[in-house]
Structure 1
Amino acid sequence: MSAPANEQSTGVFSPSRAQIAARTLRTDRWWLPPLVTAIGLGIFVVYAGTRSFVRSAYYVADYHYLTPFYSPCLSTSCVEGSSHFGTPLPDLPMIIPLAFVGLPFLLLFRLTCYYYRKAYYRAFWLSPPACAVAEPHAKYSGETRFPLIIQNAHRYLFYAAAIISIINTYDAIVAFHSPGGFGFGLGNVILLGNVILLWAYTLSCHSCRHITGGRLKHFSKHPVRYWIWTQVSKLNTRHMQLAWITLGTLMLTDFYIMLVASGTISDLRFIG
């Protein structure tokens, strides 16, 4: 039974498109990339969601290691020493993550990221699951209606992500500590590496590229902005790789701090 005429006006089921019974004529394993993407994103969501709510083993007092999933920690519910910016907020119920001030902005920044849109549109919404493969949707309205119209806020969420990256940088600097003063260990290497990669991902964002060089008609009249735009453009070519790498470094950083904070392992110290 064919779909109503008003539902045939858009998408791959339009009467103006070739009427092919097969979903696709591709013979390769086109379903593998969206499957791998769904598994990868699913692992991160489950891990990060769980760790953000458990409220245990997220801070190492001796070395001032604070996991990114709990930064900034601004509540009196935070363990002593983990609030690098004070505790202006009262105790929070367990249903609210301690880093609720920053986590929503980071989540929205990634959800509205141009690369992640492609990734989860294909992996979870099958829109479309792959090139030359029909999607199971009769109509397509783009990002013009709620909730997808929120994707247009990405350029503004970039500023929030930059601020949180500054906070993560401060956390990494504060972590050069030991009970006797200055200290340096494997945890510092992991924290610092994570921050550098987070900055690379944030600055490689398409919004950052537009901020640095957008709306310019003559690059020759703005040599400084042109140079910055050029550097950001170089990073932008690695945006997809950085998007995945930083998911891995975030989990690695949190997992290592969890192991040290819980006493499962001891931090490998180089100084102090």
Structure 2
Amino acid sequence: MTATARGVDAPGRAGIDARTLRTDRWWLPPAATTVGLLAFVVYGGVRAFQQQYFFADERYLTPFYSPCVSLGCAAEPGAAHFGMFLPDHPLIPYAALSLPFLLLFRLTCYYYRKAYYRSFWLSPAACAVPEPHAQYTGETRFPLIMQNAHRYFFYLAAVIALINTYDALLAFRHPTDGFVVGVGNLVLLVNVALLWGYTLSCHSCRHVMGGRLTHFSKHPVRYRLWTWVSRLNTRHMFFAWITLGTLVATDLYVMLVARGTITDLRIVG
């Protein structure tokens, strides 16, 4: 097969000159995906390097800065739950210890691969629409061969999810007022719960639970975990998108409270 004889142009197909006979707006889903992903990347990039308004009410730490391990976190010492040891530099995010791994976890995620392959690379853009690429080597060469490291990024993402959980629980204690519950606590809890949904619904998590087992009957506990994760896995796309929204919403809330634009409403305490 030649480089141009692919997809709808492959031998045996009808001799149609049109790129596609689809009359619906097939380009809309990949376009919407492009806009959505770009919006999150731009917002997250700006906030990660802004290096201010990341800690509010002496207890709310935005997930974009967790864990806050830069020497610059000294401006908000209560945010540095795990110490400060990274150099303070405008080009180094305060959460430089976690952000690269979270980015790699999402970048290599099975759902996100499908999303950006179709939207950014048009490989393919939609069913019955030929892709513009003359060659396809799959994920066998650099850099796409790095997609196979997704399972290792999953382990690191699980650790970071634990840190986010610790941040959310620690936020219930105010340095001077003791145990308190505010709207910010609910925002952090909802965000971390959905982050766990995304992390645990991961295909790699499903493999960890039940992969390489010959007889489920001999491993009832792992079988139960596998069936539970499998049910979550059917909603992996939902968690992938909703967590982008909750991450932005959580960060926005913390930033607005830190700036004094809004006041955190106390429910208890």
Q: TM-score, normalised by structure 2?
A: 0.95
Matched, 1:208 2:205: yes
CA distance in structure 2 between the aligned counterparts of 1:166 and 1:180, rounded to whole angstroms: 25
CA distance in structure 2 between the aligned counterparts of 1:12 and 1:85, rounded to whole angstroms: 56
Q: TM-score, normalised by structure 1?
A: 0.94
Matched, 1:246 2:230: no
Q: Which one of 224, 241, 247 corresponds to residue 221 of structure 2? A: 224
CA distance in structure 2 between the aligned counterparts of 1:183 and 1:127, rounded to whole angstroms: 50
CA distance in structure 2 between the aligned counterparts of 1:45 and 1:204, rounded to whole angstroms: 22
> CA, structure 1 residues 17+213, in 2 after alignment: closer, same or farther (shift >3 Å)?
same
CA distance in structure 2 between the aligned counterparts of 1:202 and 1:125, rounded to whole angstroms: 25
CA distance in structure 2 between the aligned counterparts of 1:258 and 1:157, rounded to whole angstroms: 28
Matched, 1:93 2:89: yes
Matched, 1:150 2:146: yes
Find the residue that maps to 1:77 and give its secondary structure: helix
- 5 Å-filtered alignment, 1:84-163, equals 84-89=81-86, 91-163=87-159
Identity of aligned residues (%): 67
Matched, 1:263 2:268: no
Kept after mapping to 2: 8 A contact 1:200/1:242: yes
Deviation at 1:158?
0.4
> CA, structure 1 residues 57+231, in 2 after alignment: closer, same or farther (shift >3 Å)?
same
CA distance in structure 1 between the aligned counterparts of 2:42 and 2:167, rounded to whole angstroms: 24
Deviation at 1:22?
1.3
Matched, 1:236 2:233: yes
CA distance in structure 1 between the aligned counterparts of 2:111 and 2:8, rounded to whole angstroms: 23
Q: Deviations over 1:184-204 (max 9, x none)?
A: 100000000100000010000
Find the residue that maps to 1:233 and give its secondary structure: helix
> CA, structure 1 residues 10+152, in 2 after alignment: closer, same or farther (shift >3 Å)?
farther
For 2:71, the equivalent position in structure 1 comes to 76
For 1:56, the equivalent position in structure 2 comes to 52
> CA, structure 1 residues 166+197, in 2 after alignment: closer, same or farther (shift >3 Å)?
same
Deviation at 1:17?
5.3
Deviation at 1:239?
0.2
> CA, structure 1 residues 23+9, in 2 after alignment: closer, same or farther (shift >3 Å)?
closer
Q: Deviations over 1:133-161 (max 9, x none)?
A: 11111111101111111100001110000
What is the identity, as a one-letter code, of the residue corresponding to 2:66?
Answer: S
- 5 Å-filtered alignment, 1:192-203, equals 192-203=189-200
Matched, 1:66 2:61: yes
Find the residue that maps to 2:71 and give its secondary structure: coil
Kept after mapping to 2: 8 A contact 1:12/1:138: no
